[in-house]
């Protein structure tokens, strides 16, 4: 029996409510050359493992790996090692593929053999946007723009060559943002093997992303947030510099990085488990005084990249950072007022674009 064209890898943990929808979206795909689905039961304490086994009994294309709880990275690594196909697609157990998604991705890959295919997602389960292989080509220098357009950071909106993907691993030391590390490692490897590759970004959303799930900054507190994201951003910036990303993309990238970090600082003040407000404030100020933050602010000064958080972070003003983040989180007009106040304090010397 010939190996399938695409293997879909699904890490499974406490997925009883959404797993059927997820797997059904996979097995209902029609793919030239066939497909396989690997469900990795990552020590789920509920009956998700039994549900996985039921799918394997029902459909020979579905196989199950049962393992101790190694986290989502460990689950993906296990599925990656077991895959035997030309291409790999990752899918989370609470998400779903839209009808025709895999063939559209494969058609785009066949139309541009040296490209790295990625696609958009939708948060509307009933999205009626036609699924087609229509795509735009982006050069390697468009890496920063891919991140800004929410096409880079996640692993589940891309078509990977199995032989290449199996040479990189998801780093289990990270509990946040590990997806970006994997994608950047794959991009680096792809650049060595296929120096002239480009990105093919499909214009249609191929994946339904269930944003009702938890796990984002708005629902979970990560104690090491302000340590982890600078490491991810440092790697992203090295990759962008190597790809010769234009200045007009690096400015908004650095502005976005500052926003992500500043909102993490505000989250320390809001939700760190330390009972003392002073301890939370000291932890927040320590993050603001990090060498990475200093280097980012200096880079933004040189670039003239304005952000509402620029002056509050330079001043180490936890009060202003808190006010901005809370205003943004709650949709208060105070955010806009503080934003423009900072811009005018700098006398318009920095750019908002």
Mean pLDDT computed over 251-271: 96
CA 149/CA 152 separation, integer angstroms: 8
Q: In the structure encoding, which two tokens stand for residue 76, read together?
A: 């993906």
Kindly state whether residues 138 and 261 are assigned to the same domain. Answer: no
Mean pLDDT computed over 35-54: 97
b or e along 261-295 (b: 16 or more beta carbons within 10 Å of the residue's beta carbon)? Answer: bbbbbbbbbeebeeeeeeebbebbeebbeeebbee
Q: What is the pLDDT of residue 210?
A: 87
CA 65/CA 38 separation, integer angstroms: 7
CA 350/CA 178 separation, integer angstroms: 33
Q: What CATH number is given to the structural domain containing 141?
A: 3.90.550.10
- Of 143, 145, 120, the C-alpha closest to 130 is 120
Selected residue with higher pLDDT from 329 and 353: 329
CA 259/CA 247 separation, integer angstroms: 18
Task: Provide the residue range defining the domain that includes 268.
Answer: 225-345
Q: What is the pLDDT of residue 353?
A: 85
Instruction: Enumerate residues 6+ apart whose C-beta is below 8 A from 230.
Output: 261, 290, 292, 293
CA 284/CA 286 separation, integer angstroms: 5
Kindly state whether residues 183 and 109 are assigned to the same domain. Answer: yes
Computed over every residue of the chain, the mean pLDDT equals 95
The number of helices, as runs of H, and strands, as runs of E, in the chain is: 14, 9
Kindly state whether residues 31 and 92 are assigned to the same domain. Answer: yes
Q: What is the pLDDT of residue 211?
A: 79
Task: Give residue 73's pLDDT band: very low, low, confident or very high (50, 70, 90).
Answer: very high
Q: In the structure encoding, which two tokens stand for residue 152, read together?
A: 């880079």
Q: In the structure encoding, which two tokens stand for residue 303, read together?
A: 């670039």
The per-residue pLDDT for range 120-157, each reduced to its tens digit, is: 999 999 999 999 999 999 999 999 999 999 999 999 99
- Residue after which a domain boundary falls, among 208, 234, 267: 208
Q: Which residues pair with 36 in a beta bridge?
A: 7
Q: In the structure encoding, which two tokens stand for residue 260, read together?
A: 């992500």
Q: How many CB atoms lie within 10 A of CB 302?
A: 8
Domain count for the chain, please give it: 2
Q: What is the pLDDT of residue 237?
A: 98
Q: What is the pLDDT of residue 117?
A: 98
Residue 214 located in a structural domain: no
Kindly state whether residues 308 and 159 are assigned to the same domain. Answer: no
Kindly state whether residues 178 and 239 are assigned to the same domain. Answer: no
- Residue after which a domain boundary falls, among 158, 174, 208: 208
Residue 181 located in a structural domain: yes
Kindly state whether residues 96 and 237 are assigned to the same domain. Answer: no
SS3 for 319? helix
Kindly state whether residues 163 and 310 are assigned to the same domain. Answer: no
Residue 216 located in a structural domain: no
Q: What is the pLDDT of residue 110?
A: 97
For residue 348, pLDDT over 50 is answered with yes
Residue 150 located in a structural domain: yes
Kindly state whether residues 288 and 204 are assigned to the same domain. Answer: no
Mean pLDDT computed over 100-121: 98
Kindly state whether residues 185 and 326 are assigned to the same domain. Answer: no
Residue 213 located in a structural domain: no
The per-residue pLDDT for range 155-199, each reduced to its tens digit, is: 999 999 999 999 999 999 998 888 999 999 999 999 999 999 999
Mean pLDDT computed over 234-252: 97
For residue 214, pLDDT over 60 is answered with no
Residue 217 located in a structural domain: no
Residue 143 located in a structural domain: yes
Mean pLDDT computed over 223-228: 93
Q: How far is CA 203 from CA 75, 89, 137, in A?
A: 30, 18, 10
Contacts within 8 Å (CB) and 24+ apart, 225-228: 225/176, 225/264, 225/267, 225/268, 226/261, 226/264, 226/265, 226/268, 226/287, 226/290, 227/287, 228/174, 228/175, 228/176, 228/177
Q: What is the pLDDT of residue 219?
A: 65
Contacts within 8 Å (CB) and 24+ apart, 187-194: 187/116, 187/143, 187/239, 188/239, 189/164, 190/116, 190/164, 191/140, 193/164, 194/114
For residue 216, pLDDT over 70 is answered with no
Kindly state whether residues 249 and 157 are assigned to the same domain. Answer: no
For residue 272, pLDDT over 60 is answered with yes
Mean pLDDT computed over 303-316: 97
Q: What is the pLDDT of residue 1?
A: 60
Kindly state whether residues 191 and 100 are assigned to the same domain. Answer: yes
Q: Any idea which residue has 């709650």 for tokens? A: 330
- Residue after which a domain boundary falls, among 208, 236, 254: 208
Q: How far is CA 81 from CA 32, 113, 150, 165, 214, in A?
A: 23, 24, 27, 9, 28
SS3 for 223? coil
pTM listed for this prediction: 0.94
CA 320/CA 337 separation, integer angstroms: 12
For residue 282, pLDDT over 90 is answered with yes
Kindly state whether residues 59 and 160 are assigned to the same domain. Answer: yes
For residue 74, pLDDT over 60 is answered with yes
Residue 220 located in a structural domain: no
Task: Give residue 215's pLDDT band: very low, low, confident or very high (50, 70, 90).
Answer: very low
């Amino acid at each position: 029996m010939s190996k399938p064209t695409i293997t879909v890898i699904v890490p499974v943990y406490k997925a009883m409510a959404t797993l059927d929808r997820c797997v059904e979206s996979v097995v209902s795909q029609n793919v030239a050359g066939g497909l396989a689905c690997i469900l990795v039961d990552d020590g789920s304490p509920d009956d998700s493992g039994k549900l996985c086994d039921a799918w394997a009994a029902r459909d020979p294309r579905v196989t199950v790996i049962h393992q101790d709880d190694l986290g989502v990275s460990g689950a993906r690594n296990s599925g990656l090692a077991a895959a035997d196909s030309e291409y790999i697609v990752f899918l989370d157990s609470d998400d779903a593929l839209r009808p025709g998604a895999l063939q559209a991705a494969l058609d785009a890959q066949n139309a541009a053999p040296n490209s790295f295919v990625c696609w958009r997602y939708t948060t509307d389960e009933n999205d009626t946007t036609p699924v087609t292989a229509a795509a735009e080509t982006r050069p390697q220098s468009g890496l920063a723009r891919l991140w800004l357009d929410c096409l880079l950071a996640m692993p589940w909106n891309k078509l990977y060559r199995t032989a290449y993907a199996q040479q990189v691993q998801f780093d289990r030391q990270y509990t946040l943002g590990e997806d970006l590390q994997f994608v950047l490692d794959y991009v680096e490897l792809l650049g060595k093997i296929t120096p002239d590759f480009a990105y093919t970004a499909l214009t249609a959303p191929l994946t339904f992303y269930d944003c009702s799930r938890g796990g984002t900054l708005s629902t979970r507190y990560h104690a090491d947030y302000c340590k982890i994201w600078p490491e991810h951003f440092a790697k992203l910036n090295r990759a962008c510099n190597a790809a010769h990303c234009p200045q007009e993309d690096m400015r908004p990238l650095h502005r976005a990085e500052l926003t992500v970090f500043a909102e993490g600082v505000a989250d320390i003040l809001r939700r760190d488990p330390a009972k003392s407000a002073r301890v939370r404030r000291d932890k927040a100020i320590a993050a603001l005084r990090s060498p990475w933050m200093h280097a980012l602010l200096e880079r933004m000064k040189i670039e003239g990249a304005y952000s509402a958080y620029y002056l509050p972070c330079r001043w180490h003003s936890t009060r202003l950072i808190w006010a901005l983040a809370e205003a943004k989180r709650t949709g208060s007009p105070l955010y806009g007022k503080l934003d423009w106040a900072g811009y005018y304090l700098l006398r318009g010397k920095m750019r908002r674009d």
